[in-house]
Amino acid sequence: MSEPKSHQWQPDSWQQKQVSQQATYPDAEALQAALTQLSVLPPLVTSWEINTLREHIAEAQQGKRFILQGGDCAESFSDCTPPIITNRLKVLLQMSLVLLHGLHQPVTRIGRFAGQYAKPRSSDTETIDGVSLPSFRGDLVNSPEFNLISRTPDPQRLLQGHSCSALTMNFVRALVDGGFADLHHPEYWDLGWVQHSQLADEFRRLADSIGSSLHFVEAISGRQAGSLRRADFYTSHEALHLPYEQALTRQVPRQEGWYCLSTHFPWIGMRTANLDGAHVEFFRGIRNPIGIKIGPKMDTDWLQELIRVLNPENEAGRIVLIHRMGVENIESDLPPLIEAVQAMQTPVLWMSDPMHGNTETVANGVKTRRFRKIRGELKKAVRIHRDMGTHLGGMHLELTGENVTECTGGARDLNEGDLSRAYKSSVDPRLNYEQALELAMQLVSIQAGKR
Ligand code: PEP
Ligand code: CO
């Protein structure tokens, strides 16, 4: 039976649905002009890269690969600079090497970058001293300064977002192609923090053994170990701004269906996952693998229906469930969802986001996250999956390669007083370079059942 017309998917069929978390542009013609221009510009990624990533995710679903996803909560256009891009790539590569070595599995790296420019907000407007202005929705939409001009959504930003994404991608591809080899050798890593960790000896042994295996591989192959092939790095962002995503959703010669070519791996955020909403409609028609954030509000019927709508053919490599429950909720809230998915007998990848359920606000309204809780949620996630006969196949983090002080704890035991020293995020608090690398080492230790 063919689908009734109202249910046929098109890149714009989401427009028939209730759409949440969108910007209101004052000039509809200017928006249309920008979208028309966007729709003929080159895409940011290719369909064959997307298909390869789908295969990687399918392997991770079978427990044969681990997926590491990380980057800023929100990228900003002003962070589109060589040092910031290089440092973020560096920490992700180093973490992936720790995981590769410690988990004895291939690791696929997905950056939360080259397009993570749109943010969901709890309110459409922000009021300060009696003045109400549109909320800041990410650099793709408006600018954070609290004045009318900055906060008015500007369609030219869609083109700027595309350019910054392309510049980031271009630089990442060049770095990755060039080998980036020194970053693979622990002797070049910044490991000063290790001595402060309770697990100092264990971490030092891990770094030494990564170093010696790399030297061994180089000696027998005559090549630099870890020189990465171009296909080894993928991008992701929350596909929130639907007009932007639609303009980059294309048909590709000799491939079936439509690909969202703004990124390899788009995800649906917690706030836009309603079943009859526009985001779910958009996602159901694209060929990309897709992430679904699931928090304590998700129930079993809702999750089962989402999976049915988004993956009706039970394709492998299509669905990644990114759970972000919080260390206090995960034991009560995750198991029923795992059971509900098990009952469907459909392939999914379970990934832990130990960041978003553990955000707290401390003095002066500053948002932070405690390393102990982040690690705690990760550890519980590993155990719950093991007990239930599933497995944790990926980790989703907010991190930066810079030496910021946004999350407390970690080997250097940052405290609330340290937060003001280098707090740079305008949205969620990120793990810094050392904390990110430490968490990768902690995961190895957790998986080995040592801690
Ligand atoms: C995010 O990943 O930055 C985010 C907003 O997450 P969630 O939708 O899980 O709250
Ligand atoms: Co965030």
Going by alpha carbons, the residue nearest to atom 4 of ligand 1 is 269
Give domain status of residue 107, yes or no.
yes
Give domain status of residue 53, yes or no.
yes
Report pLDDT for 434: 93
C-alpha 307 – ligand 2 centre gap (Å)? 23
What is the Cα–Cα distance from 292 to 220, expressed in whole angstroms?
Answer: 43
Q: Please give the torsion angle defined by the CA atoms of residues 196, 198, 204 and 206, in that order, rounded to the nearest 10 degrees.
A: -140
- Residue 238, class by beta-carbon neighbours within 10 Å (0-12 exposed, 13-18 middle, 19+ buried)? buried
Give domain status of residue 35, yes or no.
yes
3-state secondary structure 204-216: HHHHHHHHHHHHH
CA 53 to chain centroid: 14
What is the Cα–Cα distance from 284 to 311, expressed in whole angstroms?
Answer: 7
SS3 content of the chain, % helix, strand, coil (to 5): 45, 15, 40
Q: pLDDT of 304-355, one tens digit each?
A: 999 999 999 999 999 999 999 999 999 999 999 999 999 999 999 999 999 9
The partner residues of 127 in beta bridges, in order of sequence, read: 132
Is the pLDDT at 184 greater than 70? The verdict is no
Report pLDDT for 229: 46
What is the Cα–Cα distance from 253 to 168, expressed in whole angstroms?
Answer: 26
What is the Cα–Cα distance from 341 to 356, expressed in whole angstroms?
Answer: 22
In this structure, are residues 65 and 187 in contact, taking their beta carbons and an 8 Å threshold?
no
Q: What's the mean pLDDT in 10-25?
A: 97
Name residue, tokens 């027998």: 220
Mutate which of 136, 395, 398, 428 for ligand 1 pocket (most atoms within 8 A of beta carbon) = 428
Report pLDDT for 202: 85
Q: What are phi and psi of 136, to 5 degrees?
A: -75, 120
Pick the ligand that lies closest to the CA of residue 237.
1
Residues lining ligand 2 (ion), CB within 5 A?
A: 73, 428
Query: Of the given ranges (187-196, 336-345, 368-377, 413-422), which has the lowest mean pLDDT?
Result: 187-196
Q: Which residue in 396, 377, 352, 402 sits closest to 116, CA to CA?
A: 396
Report pLDDT for 226: 53
What is the Cα–Cα distance from 15 to 300, expressed in whole angstroms?
Answer: 27
Q: If pLDDT is split at 50, 70 and 90, which confidence band does 420 have?
A: very high
Q: Of ligand 1's atoms, which has the minimum distance to the CA of residue 120?
A: 5
Q: What's the mean pLDDT in 419-444?
A: 94
C-alpha 355 – ligand 2 centre gap (Å)? 8
Mean pLDDT of the chain: 92
Is the pLDDT at 268 greater than 80? The verdict is yes
Range of the domain at 26: 13-122+154-447
Name residue, tokens 């958009």: 282
Q: Which residue in 356, 159, 339 sits closest to 248, CA to CA?
A: 159
Q: How many domains does the chain have?
A: 1
Q: Of ligand 1's atoms, which has the minimum distance to the CA of residue 427?
A: 3
Give domain status of residue 169, yes or no.
yes
The partner residues of 68 in beta bridges, in order of sequence, read: 109, 395
Whole-prediction pTM:
0.95
Q: What's the mean pLDDT in 380-398?
A: 98
Contacting residues for 40 by C-beta, under 8 A, at least 6 apart: none
The partner residues of 321 in beta bridges, in order of sequence, read: 292, 350
Give domain status of residue 5, yes or no.
no
What is the Cα–Cα distance from 423 to 371, expressed in whole angstroms?
Answer: 16
Q: What's the mean pLDDT in 293-312?
A: 98
In this structure, are residues 348 and 334 in contact, taking their beta carbons and an 8 Å threshold?
no
Give domain status of residue 267, yes or no.
yes
Is the pLDDT at 227 greater than 80? The verdict is no
Using alpha carbons, list the distances in angstroms from residue 170 to 114, 233, 248: 10, 12, 17
In this structure, are residues 173 and 239 in contact, taking their beta carbons and an 8 Å threshold?
no
Q: Which residue in 321, 270, 263, 230 sits closest to 75, CA to CA?
A: 263
Going by alpha carbons, the residue nearest to atom 3 of ligand 1 is 73
Q: Of ligand 1's atoms, which has the minimum distance to the CA of residue 73?
A: 3
Give domain status of residue 253, yes or no.
yes
What is the Cα–Cα distance from 427 to 117, expressed in whole angstroms?
Answer: 11
C-alpha 425 – ligand 2 centre gap (Å)? 10
Q: Which residues line ligand 1 (CB under 6 A)?
A: 73, 120, 269-270, 293, 324, 356, 428
Q: Angle 256-351-248 (CA atoms, 0-180°, nearest 5)?
A: 35
* CATH code for position 216: 3.20.20.70
Q: How many residues does the chain have?
A: 451
Give domain status of residue 332, yes or no.
yes
How much is the CA Rg of the chain, to the nearest whole Å? Answer: 21
In this structure, are residues 407 and 439 in contact, taking their beta carbons and an 8 Å threshold?
no
In this structure, are residues 392 and 430 in contact, taking their beta carbons and an 8 Å threshold?
no
Report pLDDT for 365: 87
Q: If pLDDT is split at 50, 70 and 90, which confidence band does 2 have?
A: low
99 HSE (CA, 13 A, CB side): 24
